Structure 1
Amino acid sequence: MMRHALMALLAAVFSAGAAQAAGYRVATVAAGLVHPWSLAFLPDGRLLVTERPGRLRVIEPGANGQPALRSAPVQGVPHVMAQGQAGLFDVLLHPQFVENRLLYLSFAHGTLAANHLRVVRARFDGTRLLDVTPVFTSQPAKQASQHFGGRLAWLPDGTLVLGMGDGNLERTDAQRLHTHLGKLLRINADGSVPRDNPFVATAGARPEIYSRGHRNPQGLVTVGGELYAHEHGSRGGDELNRISPGANYGWPITTGGIDYTYARITPYRSLPGVEPPLLEWTPSVAPAGLAWYDGALFPAWRGSLFVATLKERSVRRVPMSGGAAGVQEVLFQELGERLRDVRAGPDGALYLLTDSADGRVLRVRPK
């Protein structure tokens, strides 16, 4: 017992030292969260954080090093299917949140035998969600509790993009247009279908489809009008992609990975008509959140994508220039924790969510 305590102390000392040497310091904003999945910044400086079991919390960061105040669960969150990878996923504020108080939640809906990715819109009064309205429910129903995707992002025209996983049981559905599985999807803010979606006029296609050939997309961010997404591969083949409407991103007919059984998924890493990834990670890093940093606190990090990873327990900084990815920097491995989300805060700091039953909100600032 004493040996374990000593090792933990040494690890903590090493982590603090590594963070200081790297030119940043990491502080805990809030702890005691159960598998936090996503966070959003309210205009008044508070944070909204989702917990995968189905809770939404309001976090009020403490001043001058004081502990944060964590609210009771926000009332009015719809019932969530919380099992395996399923649960409450993303929270995203409406672009005009200050005026309309609207936000969006994505979550697993249904039962183990028949479930969907659902997105709802609601009005937030500070403690409760009111007028909760479904704006999207994936079709058809799928089985099991894997590969929901769940990430949300706004495009500059005010339309909403969401990532939908392939469900894992029938991976070839990612190539089929009659199903939402394995796609990025685009809807209007009220849930209606934009008239210029690429497959609106295709017979038998789901009109919400924006791009196809995705395995389990869990990172979305818009930069200068361009949409970037990353997704989990199998054993290798994690990808970062720049998204074009109507494009095919390959899964499972092309991939750089192999199956968990070590069997070959496909003989092809590339094919005509399939968009190649901007980056591929093999072995897998298990990419989770995705953020764009252009803040003032870290000038050297400006113009970079940040990729939170679960398996590698890091954040990958990907400098971007002219749409091309530069040499990556691996950050925050000294924390030794699975990192579910990364966000650039309005204060110029970087915020991280740790993925555990005792998860934390972390803030990264210059030392």
Structure 2
Amino acid sequence: MLKITPLLGFILSMTLTGTACAQQPNIPNSDSNQSYEYQLVTKGIDIPWGMAWLNATDILVTDRKGELRIIRNGELLSEKISGLPALRAEGQGGLLDVVVDPNYAQNQLIYFSYSGLEGEGEGAHTSVMRAKLQDFKLSQQKVIFGGGLNSTKGQHYGSRLTFDNQGYLYISNGDRGNRDVNPQRLDRDAGKIHRINSDGSIPKDNPFIAQKNTHPSIYSYGHRNPQGMAKHPQTGDIWTHEHGPKGGDEINIIQPGANYGWPVISYGVNYSGTSFTDLTEKEGMQQPAWYWVPSIAPSGMTFVTSDIYPDWKGKIIVGSLKFAYLVILELDGNKVVSQETLFPGIGRVRNVKQGADGYLYVATDGAGIFKIVASQ
């Protein structure tokens, strides 16, 4: 267990300069003396991409290499869930996010994204399957989102899943490394946020449903690689974050039919340092609610609603793969107004979620899954 002691006045420039300090403590609000520490729950999952709570004791976890596991009362069970589809576990692909049906207690339905083979051509694409989970077995499997053109490129699957208050399922889909074609074309499903019904059918009020030569499931477009998505607890809006190139990671509030600009506008540059666009804004394209320069490589996000964390309630927590810490964002309505870093050195954060028990859980690549608790 690593103990984190409070320190006030830590400046924002630590994140903005891309500096990660292994000994930097977390920062509680100035009106509180509470401090927190992270506590290991379990190891044994190489890349824990998705987490979902089946009930108060059982956490369903995906391992990107292609395994679906259960953590029960803090113990990783040895039996693996069977019945997964064929997938391509290469590069950034594999078994990705997982969510449970809003009525899971009654129907035992789960939904998971993966690098599926159902599309056209060689390679893989972002797919989503619905299945019934009983006794470590999946049954009644149905592909409800099956991607268009496959790609042999192994990056930018997106793949976060979130239900809204009306029961619609949102799916983030990355540009699959084809930035100059996929994000801005409505006849391509890559580089988009999609909205579907839980059975895979299309909501009648989707913004492009009546437009020819489009994917009717598209809800917004112009995205690069969204690997964070969460529902705002008060407004019900869907918020996402996505990887920029070198700089220009973004947080966005998703609006129907909106164009988020990639790659026409961006606050980033090529990995080589050269420019691919001179524009950071353009009429008809959405500005991000927040962006990072340099990139933090965000993955996973959650709104804090639990009374366990009075300092953080009402804020957003985002994981950083690049700097191996958490970022906490303060909101003023729908505006992000400031940020602080938490728990430097916790590991490459793949996901962060608030659990059914009200605690925050942080999934890291290789280092394990941790729970954030009050310091003793």
In the other structure, the counterpart of 1:240 is 251
Q: Given the superposition, is the C-alpha separation of residues 95 and 231 from structure 1 closer, same or farther in structure 2, using an over 3 Å criterion?
A: same
In the other structure, the counterpart of 1:209 is 218
1:156-235 to structure 2, matched below 5 A, reads 156-223=165-232, 224-235=235-246
In the other structure, the counterpart of 1:106 is 113
Question: Aligned residues, how many?
Answer: 347
Residue among 347, 361, 364 paired with 2:357:
347
- Is the aligned partner of 1:87 residue 2:94? yes
In the other structure, the counterpart of 1:71 is 78
TM-score (norm 1): 0.90
CA drift of 1:44 comes to 4.0
In structure 2, C-alpha distance between the alignment counterparts of 1:171 and 1:131, rounded to whole Å: 38
In the other structure, the counterpart of 2:18 is none
State the one-letter code of the partner of 1:339: V
State the one-letter code of the partner of 2:373: R
In structure 2, C-alpha distance between the alignment counterparts of 1:71 and 1:95, rounded to whole Å: 27
In structure 2, C-alpha distance between the alignment counterparts of 1:309 and 1:171, rounded to whole Å: 26
Q: Given the superposition, is the C-alpha separation of residues 231 and 20 from structure 1 closer, same or farther in structure 2, using an over 3 Å criterion?
A: closer
Per-residue Cα deviation, 1:286-331 (whole angstroms, up to 9, x for no partner): 0100111110111010001111110121111112221111211111
Kept in 1, the 8 Å contact 2:27–2:342? The answer is no
CA drift of 1:142 comes to 2.4
In structure 1, C-alpha distance between the alignment counterparts of 2:148 and 2:108, rounded to whole Å: 29
Kept in 1, the 8 Å contact 2:179–2:263? The answer is no
In structure 1, C-alpha distance between the alignment counterparts of 2:249 and 2:338, rounded to whole Å: 17
CA drift of 1:16 comes to 9.2
In structure 1, C-alpha distance between the alignment counterparts of 2:256 and 2:358, rounded to whole Å: 31
Equivalent position SS for 2:194? strand
- Is the aligned partner of 1:308 residue 2:319? yes
Residue among 30, 36, 47 paired with 2:48:
36
Where structure 2 has 5 or more consecutive residues not aligned to the other structure, the ranges are 3-20, 29-33
TM-score (norm 2): 0.88
In the other structure, the counterpart of 2:297 is 286
Residue among 355, 366, 370 paired with 1:362:
370
Per-residue Cα deviation, 1:243-269 (whole angstroms, up to 9, x for no partner): 100000000000000011222111100
CA drift of 1:113 comes to 3.2
Kept in 2, the 8 Å contact 1:143–1:167? The answer is no
In structure 1, C-alpha distance between the alignment counterparts of 2:299 and 2:269, rounded to whole Å: 20
Kept in 1, the 8 Å contact 2:27–2:340? The answer is no
More helix by share: 1
Kept in 1, the 8 Å contact 2:86–2:117? The answer is no
Q: Given the superposition, is the C-alpha separation of residues 74 and 309 from structure 1 closer, same or farther in structure 2, using an over 3 Å criterion?
A: same
Equivalent position SS for 2:142? strand
In structure 2, C-alpha distance between the alignment counterparts of 1:230 and 1:71, rounded to whole Å: 33
In the other structure, the counterpart of 1:318 is 329
Equivalent position SS for 1:174? coil
State the one-letter code of the partner of 1:366: A
Q: Given the superposition, is the C-alpha separation of residues 220 and 20 from structure 1 closer, same or farther in structure 2, using an over 3 Å criterion?
A: closer
Q: Given the superposition, is the C-alpha separation of residues 227 and 152 from structure 1 closer, same or farther in structure 2, using an over 3 Å criterion?
A: same
Per-residue Cα deviation, 1:89-108 (whole angstroms, up to 9, x for no partner): 00100000000000001000
Per-residue Cα deviation, 1:14-48 (whole angstroms, up to 9, x for no partner): 97994799711211111021111111112141111
1:18-37 to structure 2, matched below 5 A, reads 18=25, 23-37=35-49
Per-residue Cα deviation, 1:52-87 (whole angstroms, up to 9, x for no partner): 01100001124xxxxx24232111121221001111
